[in-house]
Structure 1
Amino acid sequence: MKSTPRSILLAGCLALVSIGTNALGEPIDLNTGNRQFALPDFGSSADTLLSTGEELRLGQAFMQSVRESLPIIDDPFLDDYINGLGHGLVVASGASGRHFSFFLVDDATVNAFAGPNGYIGVYAGLVLTAATESELAAVVAHEIAHVTQRHLMRAYEDTQKLSLPATALMIGAAILGAQVSGDVGAAAITGIQAAALQRRINFTRDNEEEADRVGIAMLADAGYNPYAMPGFFERLGKATRIQDSDAPEMLRTHPVTTNRISDALGRAQEYGVRQRPDSLRFHLVRADLRQRSYRRPEQAIAHFRATLREGRYANETAQRYGYALALMRGGQISAARKEIKPLLAAHPGQAELVALSAELARRSGNSDEALRDLREAFALSPTSLPLRIVYAETLLDAGRPAEALQLLEQAARGGVGSPSFYALMVRAALQAKDEAATYRYRAEEQYALGDIEAAIDQLEMAVRQRGLSYHEASSIQARLDELKEDQEAMKDDPWNKQSRRDAN
């Protein structure tokens, strides 16, 4: 196949990322050394030295590609947890004025990566492998540090000045190439000179050391145990020695080394031990992800039943929560309700337990009970977005779309930005027979997905609807003008759909 400048750029970028990641082709269990999980790519981060508008558009285009390539988990409670943990670390880093968004990837790989405009992905396998919440926070802090220190763009600037289109292409190819198709990246290495490879390796190692230093300080300032970072690295290092002892040094560039562990340990000693117990939410999230990791519900049920019988769990409440989720998934509603009842009595304000109990009540035909419990819980926690979403979904199922739409619109004013959130608003508007709102929120859904052209089409239909008030029409028109300005600015963006179609 003939190589074009675009394909050469892609290959070179994949080589750059591959030499900054682990060389293992198969997954590894970090506790036993058996092949189960892949080592995490601590170096697959990206940030830009662009204008705010360029960085925003690049991040949106990047997330569009991520959603097309990776199985993003769409769950309000899981999303709320990882964003809460991530933003707590961001505040501790002093970067609270920057945009950050965290999301979970439904994959057993032990991995995490950062993209343009502060988008940070965390794999389910990483959450399940972290022995403590501080270990999970250590990896997230490390990725935040890659963003705040602008490591990827600094690496590019070390070699050449790039145009915005070239930068966009290289960043996207680097991150997604490493996450989705490691074989392609490995193949691209053969075309790069050894001297250039070594220079990239050294720069990546410098970045890793800086990210460790910044990340450990972030951990300590956020109240997590800074020793969690060297502790997690040590487990990674043991897995590497077991599985990768014969790998050539050039490809053994995932820098989980004795020196790195020692350096991280020295940094942690500067802050001392922070005794922070794991939150219940951490254990609840792990239980949910564990039951999702089984393809069939009966497998999940058997797992939780056995671990509860044998006492093999870190937190009994979370383990029984996972068991109830698995039972519900398997259609055993009565058994699940029996399991969740004592948990809710012990933790009446825990949103995850309230939502599961309400869902089980709804599936049992007790919609009034579900609505009552959610209304009471939401009154006590009015800022809880997950509870708001579950409450709105239950109102929709009960045939009360106007109330659901009003509930969601209150949150939308804060700029939620999630495609699934706007999809729920579209559903509510459709059931409420509000055509203008249906078009308007469908536009926001498309925009959140990265399809600005479809978003503009929907807004143009919304503004033509009859019966709009002056305020509604003005608001829709203002949003339409804003998106058209964005569309003009993105004409040269290689990540828009047309550019990617042309590249193929």
Structure 2
Amino acid sequence: MRIRTLFIRVRGALLLLLLLAFVSRAAAEIDRLPDIRLPDMGSSADRVMTRSAEARLGKVFMRQVRKALPVWDDPLASDYIETLGRSLVEADETAAGRFTFFLIDQPTVNAFAGPGGYIGVYGGLVLAANSESELAAVMAHEVAHVTQRHLMRAFEDQSRLGIPTMALMIAAAVLGAQVSPDAGAAAVAGVQAAAIQRRINFTRENEREADRIGIQTLARAGHDPFAMAGFFDRLSKATRVYETNAPEFLRTHPVTAERIADSLGRAERFGARQRPDSLGFLLTRAKLRERSYQRAEQSVAHFNETLRKGRFRDEVAERYGYALALQRARRFRDAKNQSDQLLAGHPSQAEFIILDAELNVSLGERETALSHLRQSVSLFPSQWPLRVAYADALLAAGEPARAVSELRSVVRLRPGNAMLYDKIVQAATQAGDQATVDRFRAEKLYVEGDLEPAIRQLELALRRREVPYHDAAQIQARLDLWREEEREEQRRGNQPLRAASP
């Protein structure tokens, strides 16, 4: 009897071992299979609000962010971060809708995703990234949070709130995490950020999902898929140095040894890729490094020392930072000597063309600056930072009407940019073109989520007698569109943010 019992137990153990071996092998084979896209069956987030309502929520959210954080509207830096972000969105097969990438001029090492595809990247994160792939890794992770609608899922139980209230809550949570609970609460009229912060903190499962999709996006965009695990590991080790003052990214996106190991395992499926950093990445880092010094003299001393001792990753980028530091110190002739060297080696680089033009203006050579910028715009018409610089030079030369014309051309290339609308308003004000002031002030209000004031401002523009027929037709078409949007919101009666059908 004992022998029979022993035989049964041994046989059971052998069967269990065989079963485990089979399951393990099957799991390994499945893991090696390519990712299969299943049909989009919708998610619980779709029951919270429609995509159009989320886009409206994003505008209101962004207005709150601008009130509390120093959003950096520098055309060159914005163009770089948008170009990098766009390449990641194009590589993510799950991405849909509009994405807006923007920089925040603070040394915090973090990034965040807001509703409607608004993704903020801190200057400190750009400086902390050892490579462009590491920066892309964090951005791809945030893109995945948007595509999987993690934020909407986190606020699903708040579906009875209207857009303004919900935008305040989300902004309070984000600002409470990025700045401080007090700053977040103050920025949103008393909403307690600390009380709702846990609603926005992504769950462990959401983080794993964002890592998985982000690594896949990295590989498809041509970046090193190991960059995500490498960046996480480096930040995690830095915690020992920071102690209680850990990088903000670790507080909002907790990193564990298991998560790093999982990221490494997923990256193995694609293999390591050596990709040189783009000059745009290096120049943006140099610009941020220069801005990180409170006084211009400190910045000049830093870049002078690194260039003298050869302690830099890229001499061109380091010399660019030095030229910017000299410009801020008002040593224009010395800065011009540096920009001449940069232009000689890279005559088509927008950063160097713009810097040289700014220095020419500072040295009283406005005609030279205008001539060079006009030539550059004709050669590279799609490079909108060059065209903005040309408009700025026209304004400095006392030609606001021409500046308005140039900026309106840029807006046609990049609609929905609040910074550009603001520049047009300033230039049109100097030109005495009140109809254009009214029109683009309305556009700025609309982009920032103020629909009703935007409509009133556009109605004011339409009543101006001096409005040309073609402009009046465009204004009327825009006004009709916005009024329909307003009627739709009134039909909802600011009701709960649910989809049309459950």
TM-score norm. by structure 2 comes to 0.81
Structure 1 window deviating more from structure 2 (166-175 vs 368-377): it is 166-175
Structure 2 contact 114–151 (Cα < 8 Å) conserved: no
In the TM superposition, residue 392 of structure 1 has moved relative to its aligned partner by: 1.1
Q: 2-side partners of 1:395 and 1:292: how far apart?
A: 26
1:35-184 counterparts in 2 under 5 A? 49-95=48-94, 97-157=96-156, 162-165=160-163, 167-182=166-181
In the TM superposition, residue 256 of structure 1 has moved relative to its aligned partner by: 1.1
Instruction: Determine the structure 1 residue equivalent to 2:454.
Output: 455
Structure 1 contact 133–282 (Cα < 8 Å) conserved: yes
| AA partner of residue 49 (structure 2) | L
1:272-421 counterparts in 2 under 5 A? 272-421=271-420
Structure 2 contact 105–122 (Cα < 8 Å) conserved: yes
Cα 1:426/1:245, change in 2 over 3 Å = closer
Instruction: Determine the structure 2 residue equivalent to 1:468.
Output: 467
Residue 268 in structure 1 maps to residue 262 in structure 2:
no
Structure 2 contact 417–447 (Cα < 8 Å) conserved: yes
Instruction: Determine the structure 1 residue equivalent to 2:476.
Output: 477
| AA partner of residue 139 (structure 2) | V
Q: 1-side partners of 2:245 and 2:180: how far apart?
A: 23
Q: 1-side partners of 2:339 and 2:251: how far apart?
A: 47
| AA partner of residue 75 (structure 1) | D
Kindly indicate which of the two structures has a greater share of residues assigned to helix. 2
Structure 1 window deviating more from structure 2 (301-310 vs 74-83): it is 301-310
In the TM superposition, residue 400 of structure 1 has moved relative to its aligned partner by: 2.6
Q: 1-side partners of 2:305 and 2:76: how far apart?
A: 26
User: CA offsets, 1:366-419, max 9 Å, x none?
Assistant: 111111211222122110111110011112222333332222222223452222
* 1:362 counterpart SS class: helix
Q: 2-side partners of 1:139 and 1:493: how far apart?
A: 35
RMSD across aligned positions (CA): 2.9
Instruction: Determine the structure 1 residue equivalent to 2:27.
Output: none
Structure 1 window deviating more from structure 2 (162-171 vs 389-398): it is 162-171
In the TM superposition, residue 312 of structure 1 has moved relative to its aligned partner by: 1.5
In the TM superposition, residue 252 of structure 1 has moved relative to its aligned partner by: 7.5
Structure 1 window deviating more from structure 2 (224-233 vs 93-102): it is 93-102
* Larger Rg belongs to: 2
Q: 1-side partners of 2:399 and 2:167: how far apart?
A: 45
Q: 2-side partners of 1:295 and 1:490: how far apart?
A: 46
Q: 2-side partners of 1:253 and 1:384: how far apart?
A: 35
* 1:273 counterpart SS class: coil
In the TM superposition, residue 161 of structure 1 has moved relative to its aligned partner by: 5.6
Structure 2 contact 436–461 (Cα < 8 Å) conserved: yes
User: CA offsets, 1:56-98, max 9 Å, x none?
Assistant: 2101100000000101112000100000000100000025541
Q: 2-side partners of 1:246 and 1:336: how far apart?
A: 37
Q: 1-side partners of 2:343 and 2:245: how far apart?
A: 52
Q: Which runs of 5+ in 1 are unaligned?
A: 1-46, 495-504
Q: 2-side partners of 1:429 and 1:160: how far apart?
A: 43
User: CA offsets, 1:196-254, max 9 Å, x none?
Assistant: x8x998x711111111100000000000011110000111110224444999xxx9784
Q: 1-side partners of 2:53 and 2:336: how far apart?
A: 50
Structure 2 contact 49–159 (Cα < 8 Å) conserved: no
Structure 1 contact 102–122 (Cα < 8 Å) conserved: yes
In the TM superposition, residue 489 of structure 1 has moved relative to its aligned partner by: 5.0
Cα 1:493/1:81, change in 2 over 3 Å = farther
User: CA offsets, 1:108-154, max 9 Å, x none?
Assistant: 11010000110000000000010000000000000001101111222
In the TM superposition, residue 479 of structure 1 has moved relative to its aligned partner by: 2.0
* 1:122 counterpart SS class: strand
In the TM superposition, residue 155 of structure 1 has moved relative to its aligned partner by: 3.3
Q: 1-side partners of 2:421 and 2:193: how far apart?
A: 42
In the TM superposition, residue 180 of structure 1 has moved relative to its aligned partner by: 2.7
Structure 2 contact 435–466 (Cα < 8 Å) conserved: no
| AA partner of residue 107 (structure 1) | Q
Cα 1:440/1:263, change in 2 over 3 Å = same
Instruction: Determine the structure 2 residue equivalent to 1:429.
Output: 428
User: CA offsets, 1:459-488, max 9 Å, x none?
Assistant: 222111113333322221232333344445
Structure 1 contact 57–490 (Cα < 8 Å) conserved: no
* 2:101 counterpart SS class: strand
| AA partner of residue 378 (structure 1) | V
Q: 1-side partners of 2:95 and 2:412: how far apart?
A: 20
Q: 1-side partners of 2:412 and 2:83: how far apart?
A: 20
| AA partner of residue 367 (structure 2) | D
Structure 2 contact 106–124 (Cα < 8 Å) conserved: yes
In the TM superposition, residue 359 of structure 1 has moved relative to its aligned partner by: 0.5
Q: 2-side partners of 1:246 and 1:318: how far apart?
A: 30
| AA partner of residue 228 (structure 2) | M
Q: 2-side partners of 1:96 and 1:252: how far apart?
A: 26
Structure 1 window deviating more from structure 2 (99-108 vs 466-475): it is 466-475
Structure 1 contact 216–226 (Cα < 8 Å) conserved: yes
Q: 2-side partners of 1:370 and 1:378: how far apart?
A: 12
- Between the aligned residues of both structures, percent identity stands at 54
Q: 2-side partners of 1:466 and 1:280: how far apart?
A: 49
Structure 1 window deviating more from structure 2 (295-304 vs 130-139): it is 295-304
Structure 1 contact 225–274 (Cα < 8 Å) conserved: yes
| AA partner of residue 463 (structure 1) | L
Cα 1:450/1:298, change in 2 over 3 Å = farther
Structure 2 contact 173–193 (Cα < 8 Å) conserved: no
Cα 1:182/1:232, change in 2 over 3 Å = farther
Cα 1:141/1:461, change in 2 over 3 Å = same
Structure 2 contact 225–272 (Cα < 8 Å) conserved: yes
In the TM superposition, residue 183 of structure 1 has moved relative to its aligned partner by: 6.5
Structure 2 contact 455–479 (Cα < 8 Å) conserved: yes
* 1:53 counterpart SS class: helix
| AA partner of residue 340 (structure 1) | S
TM-score norm. by structure 1 comes to 0.80
Instruction: Determine the structure 1 residue equivalent to 2:498.
Output: none
User: CA offsets, 1:249-288, max 9 Å, x none?
Assistant: xx97842111111110111111011111000110100011
Q: 2-side partners of 1:300 and 1:244: how far apart?
A: 28
* 1:413 counterpart SS class: helix
